[in-house]
Amino acid sequence: MIELNSIHSLTDFKRNTPQFMEKIKETHSPLVLTVNGRAELVVLDTDSFQELLNKVEYAETVQAIKEGMTSFERGEGRLAKEALGDLAKKYDLPR
């Protein structure tokens, strides 16, 4: 959840960049920047950004696995042994 004290104008950020950067690095909390009173940008430290990317990748992987399992349960999948055999035949690989 973004806290109200983490919302600042872009102009304020430009004037006080070093102080804002220090706060972001200490708290690992995002900073929302506004332009004309509307949220336009979010600033994160690199560690928090990487953590966010890792969580998104994990969630996407879990979702893909769930979709694959559901598809297989509906009888739409193939056994790995069959699929690998077809790939070996197609690409003339040893079995």
pLDDT in tens, 5-58: 899 999 999 999 999 999 999 999 999 999 999 999 999 999 999 999 999 999
pLDDT of residue 13: 98
- The residue ranges of every structural domain in the chain are 4-44, 48-90
- Could you count the other beta carbons within 10 Å of the beta carbon of residue 31? 20
List strand residue ranges (DSSP E) for the chain, in order. Answer: 7-9, 31-35, 38-43
Residues 6+ apart with CB under 8 A from 8: 20, 31, 32, 33, 34
- Could you count the other beta carbons within 10 Å of the beta carbon of residue 30? 19
* pLDDT band with cut points at 50, 70 and 90 for residue 69: very high
| Overall fold of domain 4-44 | YefM-like fold (3.40.1620)
Q: Which residue has the higher pLDDT, 12 or 3?
A: 12
Say if residue 1's pLDDT is above 90: no
Say if residue 72's pLDDT is above 90: no
Q: In angstroms, rounded to a whole number, what is the distance separating the alpha carbons of residues 59 and 79?
A: 25
